[in-house]
């Protein structure tokens, strides 16, 4: 069950994070005006978290710590609550800077040691646990645009097996110049976006009012490169497993940033559901290409639409998935 959520994006924090009227694309590098992105300009690390412990912290970790703080401010959780966060590879900015220093300084090891923890992809998840005293299982899911759904399924397993009584589940992605250059050479026609979104997952039966029930998550790997066909299999499988019909789906939230991924995603949904449902949400249209964080933003966007909802995800490496939720 999803019982609470919080988000920070280029549009703002909390519910404002999903307000498309606040979206604004800025130039990331004045020397390369075509390098644009959607940055959470209102989020300043030291102002949000204070000076203590943030001197070397990257924006990816800081966003995760801040959004988890906002989530936990409204709910009381057990210290053994788990943390499952998705990412593409951690902070691209920190990894680029650390590697550059090792290659350009007089000796390879003349680097800033304080940067080292933040150059690892599990930095965000570990910082969330450290800052908020969460001593349960701590996991990082690096699955590209599938990270959101993969993290959701992983968190559900932690609850089902009793390894955690609750899980803070989500993802964070920063919008830096190094990441923008990487995204420039990938599929998609949207500028990179920045943000973090987390949900609190708890088992059924708790007194807290559930916002949505996670009915199922299905994933596939398109070994033949046919992303559309793999997505059709996923959608049909999750509907059958949950005892639902294609016509029962009220809302679909898509994820692809454009190009062939978007074509495959929409064709796959139309084929699996025999047409698109009345409501189709696309948070990336005003938040930019959120990379690994797109999944949690899809899920929190879905929470505003009561009924049966379908969340889909595709990654250029061939991973495909979907999740089925019943929103209260």
pLDDT digits (tens, 9 = 90+) for 28-40: 999 988 899 999 9
Q: Is 280 within 8 Å of 292 (Cβ atoms)?
A: no
pLDDT at position 184 is 82
For the cut 90, the answer to whether the pLDDT of residue 278 exceeds it is: no
Tell me which residue of 211, 226, 228, 225 sits closest to 305, measured CA to CA: 211
pLDDT at 149: 96
pTM of the model: 0.95
What's the CATH number for 212-327? Answer: 3.40.47.10
Q: What mean pLDDT is predicted for residues 245-271?
A: 95
Predicted pLDDT at 188: 63
Task: Output the pLDDT for position 197.
Answer: 98
- For the domain made up of 2-201, give the CATH fold: Peroxisomal Thiolase; Chain A, domain 1 (3.40.47)
- Residue 175, pLDDT > 90, answer yes
- Given this model, what pLDDT does residue 211 score? 96
The tens digit of pLDDT for each residue in 199-246 reads 999 998 876 889 999 999 999 999 999 999 999 999 999 999 999 999
Domains 2-201 and 212-327 share a fold: yes
Cα 259 to Cα 91, 111, 186, 255, 316, distances in angstroms: 25, 39, 10, 12, 11
Q: Is the pLDDT of residue 186 over 80?
A: no
Specify the length of the chain in residues.
328
pLDDT exceeds cutoff 80 at 52: yes
Show me where the domains of the chain are located. 2-201, 212-327
- Separation of alpha carbons 294 and 258, rounded Å: 13
Q: Mean pLDDT, the chain, as a whole number?
A: 94
């Amino acid at each position: 069950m999803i019982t609470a959520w919080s988000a920070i994006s280029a549009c703002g924090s909390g519910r404002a994070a999903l307000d498309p009227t606040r979206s604004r694309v800025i130039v990331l590098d004045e020397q390369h005006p075509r390098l644009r992105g959607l940055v959470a300009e209102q989020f300043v690390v030291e102002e949000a978290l204070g000076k203590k412990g943030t001197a070397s912290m990257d924006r990816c970790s800081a966003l995760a710590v801040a959004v988890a703080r906002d989530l936990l401010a409204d709910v009381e959780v057990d210290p053994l609550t788990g943390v499952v966060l998705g990412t593409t590879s951690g902070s691209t900015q920190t990894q680029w800077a650390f590697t550059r220093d090792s290659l350009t300084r007089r000796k390879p090891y003349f680097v800033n040691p304080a940067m080292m923890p933040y150059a690892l992809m599990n930095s965000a998840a570990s910082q969330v646990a450290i800052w908020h005293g969460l001593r349960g299982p701590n996991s990082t899911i690096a699955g590209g645009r599938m990270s959101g759904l993969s993290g959701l399924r992983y968190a559900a397993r932690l609850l089902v097996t009793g390894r955690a009584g609750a899980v803070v589940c989500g993802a964070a992605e920063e919008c830096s110049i190094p990441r923008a250059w990487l995204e420039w050479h990938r599929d998609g026609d949207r500028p990179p976006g920045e943000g973090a979104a987390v949900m609190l997952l708890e088992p059924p039966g708790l007194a807290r009012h559930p916002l949505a029930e996670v009915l199922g998550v299905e994933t596939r790997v398109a070994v033949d490169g046919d992303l559309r066909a793999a997505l059709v299999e996923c959608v049909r499988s999750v509907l059958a497993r949950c005892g639902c019909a294609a016509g029962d789906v009220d809302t679909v939230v898509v994820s692809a940033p454009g190009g062939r991924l978007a074509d495959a995603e929409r064709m796959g949904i139309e084929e699996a559901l025999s047409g698109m449902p009345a409501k189709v949400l696309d948070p990336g249209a005003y938040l930019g290409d959120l990379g690994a964080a797109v999944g949690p933003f899809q899920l929190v966007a879905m929470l505003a639409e009561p009924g049966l909802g379908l969340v889909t995800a595709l990654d250029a490496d061939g991973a495909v998935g979907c999740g089925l939720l019943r929103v209260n």
